[in-house]
């Protein structure tokens, strides 16, 4: 693994559009043209090794055992919490709640935030940032998008009222790759007394962020999109907000004292982590953060930005292809081929060894807004390079020949 701070040099030695030597770190890639990182990232060997150790010679429960290995695993678990806090710019490790993924994190806030009312979403939100608010009984308002697929913050400003208790926006769209102006979104929310929650699943693997400095109030992300394991994610919330929220789940580990008459709860983050946690997932997430940090998010973002530009230029030259989203999208390019369903596009590309996502991407309201049933989506990661774009173009040429 590269030493911290040397990642940009390692990428730049082969050029921003070159295949970096990091590709060899991912045993699941080989000669496969994997362009579905926005769905889930492939795992580097260091993460796989960390998981194997955690399930093998290091394995024990946490927060319970008095024997040495349990104490050691507890130290590793809480060290991961501190690592996450540092990585995302949290004020304290106690602002880091381990959850199953971003979906559970949003559900937790939607259910537990004490001041329910109106929530403002946008037209591009993932279903996981729509359904939880509906289930929890919030009144949902929706702001529109700009012509190039950004959340229209002018429209949001016009819609916001003191009845809005929450604004919940995608930090980076999983379909369009558009990047939210977080500072302005926070200013608008706070001006009416609302809080800002960020769905940062696509932002965390691509953009260096400090949520405290960005003036957000809550943020969520999933480990498996950050080159880590599935089944683990993070809810970050400002300490005073978490302290005012009751737990969503009850059970062991999240209590202060239990009687049959009354139960009192542990302070955050413990009160939100009922039951035996995903110990190995937390250890794997720590390893993934170390790996990404060793390369540098600035280097990763520059690499993906260059790939997006090359991909959009290549697809734009094909007159039967429609592109969606802004030119400066973060690591994601969605498109359609005229007269061909995205599922057919994805199937033919798979025959060419190219993996893309095809469908509504858990964004059915956005598809309706765009006037399509689905799109194909290419999304990039550390391991991608120009050969992946060339393979995508070759596959699309075959699609055009097969469908005339």
Domain positions in the chain are 7-42+295-403, 49-294
Are 293 and 264 contacting, i.e. CB atoms less than 8 angstroms apart?
no
Q: Which residues are known catalytic residues?
A: 362
CA–CA gap between residue 17 and residue 308 (Å, rounded): 10
**pTM score:** 0.93
CA–CA gap between residue 331 and residue 380 (Å, rounded): 5
The secondary structure element, H or E, covering residue 213 is helix 211-214
Strands 195-199 and 218-222: parallel
- Does the structure show a pLDDT above 90 at 127? yes
Looking at 254-379, which runs of residues are DSSP E strands? Answer: 255-258, 263-265, 321-324, 332-337, 354-355, 357-359, 375-379
- Does the structure show a pLDDT above 80 at 174? yes
Residue with more model confidence, 376 or 17 = 376
Q: Measured at the alpha carbon of residue 47, what is the angle toward residues 70 and 45, in degrees to the nearest 5?
A: 135
Query: Is residue 404 very low, low, confident or very high in pLDDT (cuts 50, 70, 90)?
Result: confident
User: Which of the following CATH numbers is that of domain 49-294: 3.30.1330.10, 3.40.640.10, 3.40.50.300, 1.25.40.10?
Assistant: 3.40.640.10
Mean pLDDT across 11-15? 40
First to last CA, the chain: 47
pLDDT for res 21: 73
- Does the structure show a pLDDT above 50 at 262? yes
How many residues does the structure list for the chain?
404
Cα atoms found within 13 Å of the Cα of residue 48, Cβ hemisphere only: 9
Tell me the CA distances in angstroms from 207 to 175, 297, 338, 373, 387, one per residue in order.
Answer: 17, 6, 33, 30, 24
- Does the structure show a pLDDT above 90 at 19? no
Give per-residue pLDDT as tens, 23-73: 999 999 999 999 999 999 999 999 999 999 999 999 999 998 889 999 999
User: Which of the following CATH numbers is that of domain 7-42+295-403: 3.40.50.720, 3.90.1150.10, 3.30.210.10, 3.30.420.40?
Assistant: 3.90.1150.10
Give per-residue pLDDT as tens, 303-344: 999 999 999 999 999 989 999 999 999 999 999 999 999 999
CA–CA gap between residue 82 and residue 376 (Å, rounded): 38
Both tokens of residue 13?
Answer: 């030695």
Percent of the chain whose predicted confidence (pLDDT) is above 70 = 95
- Does the structure show a pLDDT above 50 at 2? no
pLDDT for res 198: 98
Q: Which residues contact 401 (CB under 8 A, 6 or more apart)?
A: none
pLDDT for res 61: 95
CA–CA gap between residue 331 and residue 95 (Å, rounded): 28
Residue with more model confidence, 9 or 378 = 378
365-388 burial by CB neighbour count: b if 16+ within 10 A, else e?
Answer: bbbeebeeebbbbbbbbbbbbbeb
- Other beta carbons within 10 Å of 113: 23
Measured in whole angstroms, the distance separating CA 241 from the mean position of its chain's CA atoms is 22
Q: What is the mean pLDDT of the chain?
A: 93
CA–CA gap between residue 132 and residue 83 (Å, rounded): 28
């Amino acid at each position: 693994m590269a030493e911290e701070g040397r990642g940009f040099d390692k990428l730049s030695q082969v050029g921003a559009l070159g295949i970096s030597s990091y590709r060899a770190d991912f045993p699941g890639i080989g000669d496969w043209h994997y362009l579905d990182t926005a769905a889930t990232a492939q795992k580097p060997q260091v993460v796989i090794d960390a998981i194997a150790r955690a399930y093998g010679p290091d394995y024990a429960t946490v927060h319970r055992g008095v024997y040495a290995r349990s104490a050691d695993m507890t130290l590793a678990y809480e060290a991961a919490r501190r690592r996450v806090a540092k990585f995302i710019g949290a004020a304290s490790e106690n602002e880091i709640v381990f959850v199953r993924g971003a979906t559970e994190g949003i559900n937790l806030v939607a259910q537990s935030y004490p001041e329910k009312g109106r929530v403002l979403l946008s037209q591009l939100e993932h279903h996981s940032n729509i359904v939880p608010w509906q289930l929890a009984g919030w009144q949902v308002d929706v702001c529109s998008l700009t012509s190039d697929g950004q959340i229209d913050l002018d429209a949001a400003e016009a819609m916001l009222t003191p009845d809005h208790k929450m604004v919940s926006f995608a930090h980076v769209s999983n379909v369009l790759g558009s990047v939210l102006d977080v500072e302005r979104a926070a200013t608008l929310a706070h001006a009416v007394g609302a809080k800002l929650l960020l769905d940062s699943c696509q932002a965390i693997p691509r953009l260096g962020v400090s949520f405290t400095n960005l003036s957000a109030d809550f943020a969520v992300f999933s480990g498996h999109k950050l080159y880590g394991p599935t089944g683990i994610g993070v809810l970050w919330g400002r300490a005073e907000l978490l302290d005012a929220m009751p737990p969503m789940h009850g059970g062991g580990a999240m209590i202060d004292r239990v009687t049959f008459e009354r139960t009192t709860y542990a302070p955050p983050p413990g009160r939100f982590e009922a039951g035996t946690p995903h110990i190995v997932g937390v250890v794997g997430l720590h390893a993934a953060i170390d790996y990404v940090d060793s390369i540098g998010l600035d280097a990763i973002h520059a690499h993906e930005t260059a790939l997006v530009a090359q991909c959009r230029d290549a697809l734009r030259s094909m007159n039967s292809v429609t592109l969606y989203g802004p030119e400066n999208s973060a690591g994601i390019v969605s498109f359609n081929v005229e007269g061909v369903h995205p599922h057919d596009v994805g199937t033919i590309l798979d025959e060419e060894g190219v993996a893309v996502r095809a469908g509504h991407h858990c964004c059915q309201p956005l598809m309706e807004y765009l006037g399509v049933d689905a799109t194909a989506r290419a999304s990039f990661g550390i391991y991608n390079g120009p050969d992946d774009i060339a393979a995508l173009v070759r596959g699309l040429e075959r699609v055009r020949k097969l469908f005339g």
